[in-house]
Structure 1
Amino acid sequence: MSNDGLNSATVAQPESARSPQQRPHQGLVILGIALVLIAIVLMVWLFRPHTDPYTESVLQLDGDANNGRSMFVMNCVACHGQWAAGEVGPSLRGVSERLSRSQLIHQVVSGETPPMPKFQPEARQMADLLSYLEQL
């Protein structure tokens, strides 16, 4: 037999031919991948849009902009001005381009931005107001 200077102990085995004891990092890699996937699923679930029942009911309705204008005149003109150009409150011109319908509903009903009070009209009235605001 010829000896090329290599013996069987020095020949590298392919990765797939090694036993699990010879591949110590494979389990860690699989665990790491699993943890990353779990983290992604949790992040998607935690940051999904939360829509409350009131908002859902409003979004299912088609509003009437004329009725929405009446709602606006009765409830919003004092702060936002006759034509929504802003006075005490900000201008609402183009507001539907800056905020989603859900965000607009939240803005109206939450009272989180003083001096705007909490205000929760019936779902139909809110749908009408949204239709009016979308025309500004």
Structure 2
Amino acid sequence: MDTPIREERPARKIILAGLAVLLVVLLVVFGVYQMRHSDPYIQSVLSSQGDSDRGQVIFQQNCSVCHGLNADGRVGPSLHHVGSRKTRIGLIHQVTSGQTPPMPQFQPSPQEMADLLKYLETL
């Protein structure tokens, strides 16, 4: 009778450890999500009405060297349908962070970023 009880305890410990790890991961993801949503720059971008024509000019001046004049990719990837691969907050972070070499860090004003997002949505 002692054998089944001993076998259950290690399994229970493994399950509890797995649940604890899952909980920590979820809390970290939620924290990052909350931090991004509360960022004043992001809030300002998301509350601004973008203009795709101005966004296209910003894109051609700052992004087209790597992503191509028509955003079809060169050194950088094609940005056609990028909205289906990244959220608006993800795109803002991608553009402003410089965390994806060789893409440089780019700090447009909130209005310029809103314009750029509007243009990217047209691709």
Q: Same fold (TM over 0.5)?
A: yes
User: Aligned partners of 2:94 and 2:59: how far apart in 1?
Assistant: 14
Match of 1:11 in 2: none
- What residue identity is the alignment partner of 1:64? D
Which structure has greater helix proportion?
Answer: 2
Partner SS, residue 47 of structure 1: helix
Give per-residue Cα distances to partners, 1:96-125, cap 9 Å, x unaligned.
111000000000000011111000100000
Residues 117 and 43 (structure 1), Cα distance of their counterparts in 2 relative to 1, 3 Å cut? closer
1:47 Cα deviation from its structure 2 partner? 2.9
| In the alignment, structure 1 residue 47 sits paired with structure 2 residue 34 | no
Greater relative CO, 1 or 2 (CA 8 Å, sep 6+): 2
Listed as ranges, the gaps of 5+ residues in structure 2 are 1-18
Match of 2:87 in 1: 100
The match for 1:87 among 74, 80, 103 is 74
User: Aligned partners of 1:99 and 1:67: how far apart in 2?
Assistant: 21
Partner SS, residue 54 of structure 2: helix
Match of 1:8 in 2: none
1:45 Cα deviation from its structure 2 partner? 5.2
Partner SS, residue 118 of structure 1: coil
Percent identity over the alignment is 50
Match of 1:71 in 2: 58
Listed as ranges, the gaps of 5+ residues in structure 1 are 1-35
Give per-residue Cα distances to partners, 1:7-44, cap 9 Å, x unaligned.
xxxxxxxxxxxxxxxxxxxxxxxxxxxxx9xx96x876
Q: Which has the larger radius of gyration?
A: 1
- What residue identity is the alignment partner of 1:101? R
Partner SS, residue 54 of structure 1: helix
Match of 2:10 in 1: none
* TM-align CA RMSD: 1.8
- What residue identity is the alignment partner of 1:106? H
Number of equivalences = 98
Q: How does 1:1-136 map to 2 (within 5 A)?
A: 46-48=28-30, 49=33, 50-51=35-36, 52-136=39-123
1:56 Cα deviation from its structure 2 partner? 1.3
- What residue identity is the alignment partner of 1:47? V
